[in-house]
Amino acid sequence: MSRLDKAQLAAATATEGPVRLIAGAGTGKTAVIAERFRRLVAAGADPASILVMTFTDRAAGEMRRRIEELIGGEAPAVGTVHSIALGWLRADGWRVGVPARFRILAGAERWILARELMWKLGDPVLTADERPDDLVAPMLQMLERLKQELVPLRRLSEWSSTDKEADRAQLMRGCVDLFHEYERECRRRGLIDFDDLLERAVTMLSTNPSVLDGYRHRHPHVLVDEYQDLNLAQERLVELMAQGGRPLVVGDDDQSIYRFRGASRASLERFSLRFPDAQTITLGRNHRSSRRIVEAAASLIEHNSERLPKDLRSGRSGARVQLWLLPDGGTEAAAIAEEASRLAASGVPLSEIAVLCRTNAIARPVAGALAAIGLPHVVAGGQGMLGRPEIRDVIAMLRILNDPTDVIALARMFTRPPLSLAPEAALKVLGDRDGRPPLTSLLGWEPARDLAGLVEDLAAQALRLDVRDLFFELMNRTRYLEALTADLEASEGARCAANVSRFADGIAEFCDTSEDHSLASYMRHLDLVLLSGEDESPVAPDVDANAVSVMTIHQAKGLEFDVVFVPSLVEGRLPQSGRPQRFELPPAVLEPLVRGREDVIAEERRLLYVAMTRARRHLYLTRASQYEGGRRWRDSRFLDEVRSSGAVVEHSIPGREIPQPSPAPQAGEGSLVLSYSAIQAYRDCPRAYWYRYEQRLPAR
């Protein structure tokens, strides 16, 4: 049996009817769900009959581990809402027109399909836009929201016919036409996307009473974690499965931070309306963080007016929350790195130190400062797989085989592994060609001759080989991975090799869905993937390594550390300001409890609350007076709210000498001229920008 306090035990043993458990941060909600599961099994329930729904794969894994340790057996019905819906549709989706062998459409493939259909339809309201391809991603986000909120296309179409704003109505009608075509094409190809999993599962259960009864009989016990993170479609699945039963849902409106995924703090309110006899139990005692951290976090979150009341408290002693003021962003990053180093020297494991940032851009200077002093650190996310250096290398190699005159790709290949020639010498050879093809120039240069000959041979083979076989030949004959990983730390080398292997899997997946397996066809596809901006995550770094964690606040949800730093607490960064969305769903098409526009500042406040409550012992809230651009930044309004707790101590840290950039050239000395293509080239690949715009390397 778990060791629970009185309030936790009351929640775990409340089985007379539906229960809504409001569990503040660090109050032990996972332990409550696990104990509830154990008690059901002890009372005779089959573990397979207890359905446990969570929000993320990580949460599902942790929940399953805790439950199985407690019951000494398997808990087969623990999973995310999406994974559970996937299993149901595989078995019974045919009842609502979903083929049993459907394939999930996601990422760049989904973007490419939507773009293809947009140009096929040719509606000028979309294709006559200044940058039509830039409309695809926000339109798909709106389609996601439609499905998450169970809004039929018919309702959006009817609304657009009555909207008095002609431009907006026309835009919505164009979107509806595209969405209809998208749905038709997905049905034709046997595809469904992630949000279809939920919408189709809701339709299947709500229109087939016998199927619903069968699943209710299979899972008479329903437990749901992180209820505040569920969107309307996920809530409906819970309601359908639990209606007439005794579900336990656990959530915390103060930690509702996924509004961009359709989640709403109102989900807990909607549960009470759907289950009017539900008992509400509140957990407020924090078992994770020190008293002063909890006091500071409570003082902050109490400024959100429409929150469920809870008595947040802790009995654990600890240091005051530190508020740092620094003169500039460079000093702030360096101070965080130095304090992390000092803490590590005092005995705090590096793995117990985290820097939690509002955005990936804020994380980069801190990661740079940690690297500068040689402190091991792991940056979670922030860069997609296609942005990894090793993947940029293999893409450059494929570009050369497809077009041996691509000078930028040649410059990368010959100055990176496997050959790693000096950039100055390679650029001179590629720049001073006297009209000869670039590969011919490299064949005449002794240090590059062998690799250039290999490239020439593979380029000839590219005209007849399947791209999968060509990629194998490329990796095998260049020995690229061996050269790349020779000088890397073992775990990083393994990570690079795994990323290249995943890229090869992507080539195989392309061939599985395309009739043309040539390199030229694949490169056209890859260009669309890069254009989409959709990118999968690279292989994760070794989480068991003793290293400082640098991540966004969203990525830290569900984690905890002895020490937490939260940088850039200034207006415009935390909180960020909300921006109107061109493709935002009209409130009139949403259900009444979803219509109220969420308070952007309230959600930003919840984000900071989540970050603060990841800390067990030490919490640092930092900000600088100046960041890039030179203007002075105002302190975040949230700092005064934290100060009112009386649990903080303030420090003003003086500046230090920061390397200054070279003075800008004067007019007549090579003034900087920025074009859209130059800016886009830099965003895509700074190295390619440097070759083309700084070194003036010819494109061909």
Rounded to 10°, the helix 232-242/136-148 angle is: 20
pLDDT (tens digit per residue) in 275-320: 999 999 999 999 999 999 999 999 999 999 889 999 999 999 999 9
d(CA 81, CA 238): 9
Say how far apart CA 46 and CA 220 lie, in whole Å: 10
What CA–CA distance (Å, rounded) separates 199 from 596? 22
Element housing 334 (H / E): helix 329-345
User: How far is residue 202 CA from its own chain's centroid?
Assistant: 26
State the average pLDDT over residues 563-577.
95
pLDDT at 15: 85
CA 629 to the chain's CA centroid: 27
Q: How confident is the model at residue 102 (pLDDT cuts 50, 70, 90)?
A: very high
Global pTM value: 0.84
User: For residue 681, is pLDDT > 60?
Assistant: no
Residue among 112, 231, 149 nearest 528 (CA): 112
Average pLDDT over residues 252-271: 81
The C-alpha angle 463, 465, 468, rounded to 5 degrees, equals 130
CA torsion sign, 412 to 414 to 420 to 425? negative
Distances (CA, A) of 51 to 75, 80, 247, 248: 9, 10, 10, 11
Give kind and range of the element (H or E) at residue 369: helix 360-372
Residues 6+ apart with CB under 8 A from 391: 385, 499, 500, 503, 538
Q: What is the DSSP letter of 661?
A: P
Q: Tell the CATH superfamily of the 321-380+543-652 domain.
A: P-loop containing nucleotide triphosphate hydrolases (3.40.50.300)
Mean pLDDT value of segment 250-257:
93
Percent of the chain past pLDDT 90, that is, above it, reads 77
**Fold match flag (6-91+199-285 vs 321-380+543-652):** yes
pLDDT in tens, 340-368: 999 999 999 999 999 999 999 999 999 99
> Tokens 């340790």 map to which residue?
69
Query: For 477-497, what is the mean pLDDT?
Result: 89
Task: State the burial class of residue 498 (Cβ atoms within 10 Å of its Cβ: 0-12, 13-18, 19+).
Answer: middle
Smallest CA-to-CA distance from 332 within 568, 129, 167, 520 is with: 568
- Residues 647 and 320: beta-carbon distance below 8 Å: yes
325 phi/psi in degrees, rounded to 5 = -120, 125
Domain borders along the chain are 6-91+199-285, 103-189, 321-380+543-652, 385-532, 668-699
pLDDT bracket for residue 660 (50, 70, 90) = very low
Q: How confident is the model at residue 593 (pLDDT cuts 50, 70, 90)?
A: low
pLDDT of 143-179, one tens digit each? Answer: 999 999 999 999 999 999 988 888 889 999 999 999 9
Q: Any bridge partners for residue 21, and if so which?
A: 250, 281
pLDDT in tens, 520-543: 999 999 999 999 988 888 887 665
The rounded percent of the chain whose pLDDT value lies above 70 is 90
The confidence score (pLDDT) of residue 587 equals 83
Least confident segment among 418-432, 502-516, 591-605, 668-682: 668-682
DSSP letter assigned to residue 51: E
* Domain 385-532 CATH assignment equals 2.40.128.20: no
CATH superfamily to which 6-91+199-285 belongs: P-loop containing nucleotide triphosphate hydrolases (3.40.50.300)
Residue 371 has pLDDT above 80, yes or no: yes
**Does the pLDDT value for residue 44 go beyond 50?**
yes
Cβ-proximal residues to 112 (8 Å cutoff; 6+ apart), any chain = 525, 528, 529, 532
pLDDT tens digits, 103-138: 999 999 999 999 999 999 999 999 998 899 999 999
Q: What is the pLDDT of residue 319?
A: 96
On whether the CB atoms of residues 595 and 586 are closer than 8 A, the answer is no
Contacts 24+ apart (CB under 8 A), 414-422: 414/442, 414/448, 414/451, 414/452, 416/389, 417/393, 417/480, 417/483, 417/484, 418/451, 418/478, 418/479, 418/480, 418/482, 418/483, 418/484, 419/447, 419/448, 419/451, 419/483, 420/483, 421/447, 421/448
